[in-house]
């Protein structure tokens, strides 16, 4: 896949999946724009010194003005990949309104605002573009979201939003899709579930490959898809 000269925003780009995606994009020739909040994560981000990576500190992705400013600075925009989000696992009895709203802000609102800004930026060009969101397995299989209802509801919102937006902007040659991962093989997940079968979990590089295709010029027809990336888990 050839991303030569193409500008791509990657939210959550300093995380485990983001690092894999940015690395693959750089190999494909892209110019990468990576907003972040966590300074410690950015400090150990292995691509931070690459001349084709621009880091944007302190960008709160649920803040409308901050997101608008980020996308104003990125031109011309080809693709926007939205990895940033959060996870919460609590039984309903312990889940308050603040927990629900926190998951909606972190997962759905951030995807909505970034997608909206990306559509505006891409429409300033004549080349079309791509948007990729991240849903989750419980968004496609809600019963698997028992014990994490706030997270499941927010990710289901991401999936529905993705399909609706894809239909709205297809006429502008903007193809919008999402991936729905199961538990990915990351150091944090291994630490949280030390007795799990790690070999069954999809690797971040494998999930990155799917995202890279959906965001690429080679993807000419796929839109409105919520692509399961479960591996063998």
- Active-site positions read 151
Burial class (CB within 10 angstroms; exposed 0-12, middle 13-18, buried 19+) of 76: middle
DSSP-derived 3-state class of residue 133: strand
Strands 77-82, 53-57: pairing is: unpaired
| Gap between the Cα atoms of 118 and 128, Å rounded | 11
Query: 71 with 118: CB under 8 angstroms?
Result: yes
Nearest to 57 by CA among 81, 80, 34: 34
Q: For the packed helices 149-169 and 110-123, what is the interaxial angle rounded to 10 degrees?
A: 20
| Gap between the Cα atoms of 41 and 57, Å rounded | 11
Quote the DSSP letter at residue 219: -
| Gap between the Cα atoms of 53 and 171, Å rounded | 31
Radius of gyration of the chain (CA): 17
Q: What is the 3-state secondary structure (H, E, C) of 170-207?
A: HHHCEEEEEEEECCCECHHHHHHCCCCCHHHCCEHHHH
């Amino acid at each position: 896949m050839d991303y030569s000269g193409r500008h791509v925003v990657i939210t959550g780009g300093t995380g485990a999946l983001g690092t894999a995606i940015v690395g693959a994009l750089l190999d494909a020739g892209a110019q990468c724009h990576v907003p972040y909040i966590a300074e410690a994560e950015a400090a150990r981000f292995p691509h931070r010194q690459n001349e084709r990576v621009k880091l944007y500190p302190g960008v709160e992705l649920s803040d409308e003005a901050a997101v608008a400013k980020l996308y104003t600075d990125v031109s011309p925009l080809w693709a926007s990949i939205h990895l940033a989000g959060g996870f919460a696992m609590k039984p309903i009895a312990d889940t308050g309104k603040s927990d629900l709203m926190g998951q909606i802000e972190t997962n759905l609102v951030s995807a909505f605002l970034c997608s909206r800004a990306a559509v505006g930026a891409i429409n300033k060009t004549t080349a079309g573009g791509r948007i990729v969101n991240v849903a989750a397995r419980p968004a496609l299989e809600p019963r698997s979201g028992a014990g994490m209802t706030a997270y499941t509801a927010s990710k289901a919102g991401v999936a529905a939003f993705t399909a609706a937006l894809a239909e709205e902007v297809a006429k502008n040659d903007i193809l919008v899709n999402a991936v729905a991962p199961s538990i990915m093989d990351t150091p944090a997940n291994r630490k949280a579930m030390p007795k799990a079968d790690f070999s069954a979990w999809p690797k971040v590089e494998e999930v990155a490959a799917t995202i890279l295709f959906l965001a690429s010029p080679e993807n000419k027809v796929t839109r409105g898809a919520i692509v399961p990336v479960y591996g063998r888990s």
